[in-house]
Structure 1
Amino acid sequence: MKYYAILFCLQLAIGANSFTSIKAQVDVNDSLALVDFYNSTNGPGWTNKTNWLTKEPVSTWYGITVNGTRVTAVNLENNGVRNTIPSSVYDLTKLELLNLSSNGLLGSILPAIGNLTNLRHLYLYENGLTGSIPSTIGNLVLLTDISIEHNFLSGTIPSTIGNLSSLHQLTLFSNQLSGTIPSSIGDLSNLNYLDLSTNQLSGAIPVSIGNLVQLGYIGLNENQIESIPSTIANLVNLQGLNLGTNHLSGTIPSFIGGLTNLGYLNLSYNQFTGTIPPFIGNLSKLGSLFLNHNQLSGSISSAIANLVHLGLLDLGYNQLSGNIPSFIGDAINPYYLDVSNNLLTGSVPNSFRKLHSLNYLDISHNLLAQNNNFHPLLPNPYFIQINVSYNHSTFNGLEFIAKNFPFAIYAPQANISIHQHGNTLSVYAGSGLTHNTYKWFKTGEQDGTTIQGDSTFMPVQSGKYYVKVTNAIATQLTLYSDTIDFMVNESLITGNRMINISNNKAGLQVFPNPANHMVHVQTNGNAIIELTNTAGKMILSKTINNKADINLSHFANGTYYLQNKTTGETQKIVVIH
């Protein structure tokens, strides 16, 4: 203590009566401890050091609170405090608040912290502290808040933590703590906030956690936790449960369905299997549900329709199948929806037109077809992030997305199929033909044949062919076709060009062509005619005598094939409304 007295006098250097004045105000040991703290932690470089080491009363020193003659609070958050925490701090035995957070402190927390038996609030977060949490922390039985997150603490959580029965908040996240969570944590009967996330904790959550009936939030995400005890069902006041990014497996446990006050549930980045359980519908207060990055299968459960307050739903990166249900939009109206990287099929439901709150949508990496139901979404599409890429969509619907959602991602899409009718190849790429450009290639050749506004192509040589289709509106996307092995029918080739079959002896005549609402057909005598689309599906079949009219008003724009089944003649018809 003689050393500190000498140091104190040297540092003040403000007159013969200074030490006497300060001693009269504050306990000398507390004063000496503060001087040592200042000198040890870069005091001259602090952001705010008002009145420190002056003749002004200690109670006026920045960040210091004095009650009577004793220092009861050191509050120097984000103040440029550097180096290690000196042992002199632990001599401030009447401290009730120690806040050194958001500084540049290094080194370990000394066992002498156990001397601060009057401490109620301990804040050391956002520093560079290392080493373990000393077991003597269990001496601080009056503590109500511990926040030592965002450091580099290692080792296990000491079992003496269970002594802190007055504790309301325990946050140790973003450290390097390991081992299991001590069962003594179940003795913290007044705890209402627990965050141990982003550490290296392993094993099972202790059964004793079920004793903490005051808990409102549990954060254990980003650890190596392997199992959840059924006693967690006792935590009926729980409003937030984050178990994401652990080693949990099996089906989602049914007792979670009893936590009916949950507003936030995160089970993402685990290894859960099975279906989305129906009891998820019991959690009617849920505002956020994360089940992404698991191995869940089956359909998107209709139980989710009960979650009428749901604003965020993430089901991405699973193995979910079937259609996107219409209750999304009809029953729930999320602002964030991610069902990407699944096996979903069909089309986007009409109910998506009701998603007026949506600002993030990811349905990419599925097997979805057309996406025509995005029209209302939001008054200002500039605030919407949409990803519909890696599906089976064509330019139908994507033209609207490209025009109305500037930041949408809609490319690439799955390959489209090539269909062959006689010596004619065709593809369906969606949209009006006038917006599409088709470039046909024979494999092994760099030069292709470009056709504007017509999806058909008549090769004159046998070989493997494919096509690239671009669109004047959805410019981000190029649709690629599969490759087809094409063999020329020599009976339909004269010289080096194709013969128009319908003009051969005036057998099958079709006009006008392209057609709008009506097409006239003429044959030589009685004939059975069939109309098929580019996929080979028969649209119409009828018997005619020399001539007939076909009403096309209800047909979609595109290419069709009319065949005289009696003679085998075929004619292409292009429909443009």
Structure 2
Amino acid sequence: MEGINSTIPCEYGISYRKEGTLEWVDAPSSEKGGGTFSCRISGLISNTGYSYRAYLRVNGQVCYGTIRSFRTEKEAAAYGVTTEGISNLTSSSVLLAGIVQGIEESTPCEYGIAYKDRNSRNWTEIPANGYNSNGYFICNVVGLSPNTEYDYRAYLHVDGKDFWGTTRYFITEGTDLDPSVLTVLQDFYKSANGSGWYNHTNWLEDSELLWWYGFSPSSEKEELYDLRLDNNNLSGNVMLRNSNFIASMSLENNPIQSLTLERCEGLSELTLPGQGETLSINSCGRKSGVSNSSPEFLTIDTRENGNIGHIDISRSTYSKVNIGGYLSDRNISVDKLDYTGADQNFRGYLEGGLNTAIGQLNLSHVYDEFTVSYNEIETLNISEVYSSRNNNMIGRWDIGYTHRNGHIKNVNVDQGDKLPFSISFYQHVDIANIRNMNQPTSGVSAGHIFFRFEEGVNEINIDNLQLQSTMFSIWTPTPIIINIANSSFLLSSYSDTADNVFNFINCDVSTDVGGGITKRLHNLTFKGTKSQLQEHLKMNGY
């Protein structure tokens, strides 16, 4: 209140009126002297709207402030909620009912059913979507476990208060489905937020899998199933573990963040959304009882052009993993692909469609006979390749065989002082770095170690290649400078086609100087072609 003081005779306070009436009621302030004041108004009706304004009477005149409004709270005794019965009980779902009292359509509130496993302390609330004229409502609860006891109760949250009905219970029905299968699919359903799917007909019900939405008999494998859940609002970090009954799975056009597959036997075809998600495959592959001579193939695909953020494959028994489908011309990219710890004793294959591109490909602890072929690879890292043949024979890798027009920017091979192996590159390589291959002096079949670059290479750097007296050669279609440091080997007499220039730094090199005579030069630092090296050895008496 402004413009008055304690010496001016006046009256001020708050006038108010109930919604729908015209009469204003004055509530004078007991304070004097103007300034900020407050008035307590009693006798109001609960859950009712009122208008109010400040007033001042002075010198026979009345001044009013801006009209504002408020609504009184409803008396707590006016609210109520009752837990009612159940219906449509199955092994995985039930309809639970309740009655709510004292609320109106305009009342801000939430009501529904809360439930929990009898052995759990955590309640899950399922909000209701509406009630009838008697306040009766129903909630559909899905994703339950079979033959399990649950508690439930109705609830109402209104005006900052919580109201609960009496706690009751129910027991879900049993199921004829194999309990292990049901457990696998319950975990999958929960991880993929199954309650939010557009269609989850018969999921987790006591019925054959063929009645569950998305399941059909496998078109490729007897007694297995195909699972197709495209465009069905699967979301989050989806997990499928311990499955031995799904042959193919399609999750096209679902907003998932990641898919984790663990110990999934028999899975051979997977279609992803291709929206940057992460894929993890651990200990998957051959179905039990299948001979080692018939290893599993896995195709990872996206229905249209797509991107997969990260693929992590570890300890798989797949002999071949294809990304993008065979002869597919879709543009599929993978930002990063890790392939580690493969549990195999056969030649492995990592391949892609015609336009599959990999950002970073990391291969570690993989069998020493392997094929890698993608159209584009930004960086290829190979480390700790092992021999499955009692460490007495040296293997060979083929890279880019089915994509000869493709391209690899950077190749990094680091064996960590383990056995050497040969590599044939069938697509152009910008830079190849090869280091730390070490052949023991005994117990290993020497053979012939070679690095072939069929479509050319811009730069080769080799460090710590310890082959002792094993023959070694590098083949390139056009001459380049090859940098070799801190290494020991027998430079092969085989033709290198291109007359490459070798830049040796601190190497022990043996070479054929003619007449079947081999000479070795220790701590060699030399730059020149192989023929120039042979002349150098002769001139120095080697």
Which protein is richer in strand relative to its size? 2
- Normalised to the residue count of structure 2, the TM-score between the two structures is 0.37
- Normalised to the residue count of structure 1, the TM-score between the two structures is 0.35
Which protein is richer in helix relative to its size? 1
